[in-house]
Structure 1
């Protein structure tokens, strides 16, 4: 646990690692200029079959089907929290660098770090997050900010 109640709450709900920021990564995100715009590049590797865990009432789905459920619910929440999806689609092999296999890439603009963090505090977003957890084998997100 940290001294920051926001970080404690985020890590308590989403966990740390396994496709989610660690407490240190949440702190680094918060440490940047709160109101400067950012862009987030998301890379997703899907599971062949979605894993909702034992005893789940969710129907059997592929990882792609579960991620599409997540996308259908998360996109309106991104927009409601001030973000905009610039582009999403299949990821081509790297133009430069080591070959890493990713299935989906998504680029999201945010008016601020604060707006992005608000998404993760949004109860409606949290309600559909179960589909992302079930769908994703690996997840990477990087923040681009002109302000540091």
Structure 2
């Protein structure tokens, strides 16, 4: 298990790497002519928050206190294993938006540690089964190609 100090240091390292890669900070401003605001995907997080994205590109802003949560720490660890530390882009988690919405609801309800572990185990099991299914599909396609 990752200690909270190590996790905070890892988040700071990601933040420093992102800052080094950023050339210009853009702030959304009101468009006087149309009366609408122009949205930029490079918006900064509010003070005391951090930004992550899911694999389907949905953006989430969490308070820093969420770094103490087991689910968030494990998702960040899995993200680092899968994608490495981003040098010029956002932190992308290895889950989709539906899973993240469910995880957030568990965090807000202060679910027990057993429930949190079960959620992460189900994610790992799904990931393994989907990679197994992909491998089986790839193998069957190869056999089909070889028999022609």
| TM-score (norm: length of structure 2) | 0.25
| TM-score (norm: length of structure 1) | 0.25
Kindly indicate whether structure 1 or structure 2 has the higher relative contact order, using CA contacts under 8 Å at least 6 residues apart. Answer: 1
Between Structure 1 and Structure 2, which shows a larger proportion of strand residues?
1
Task: Name which one, 1 or 2, has greater alpha-carbon Rg.
Answer: 2
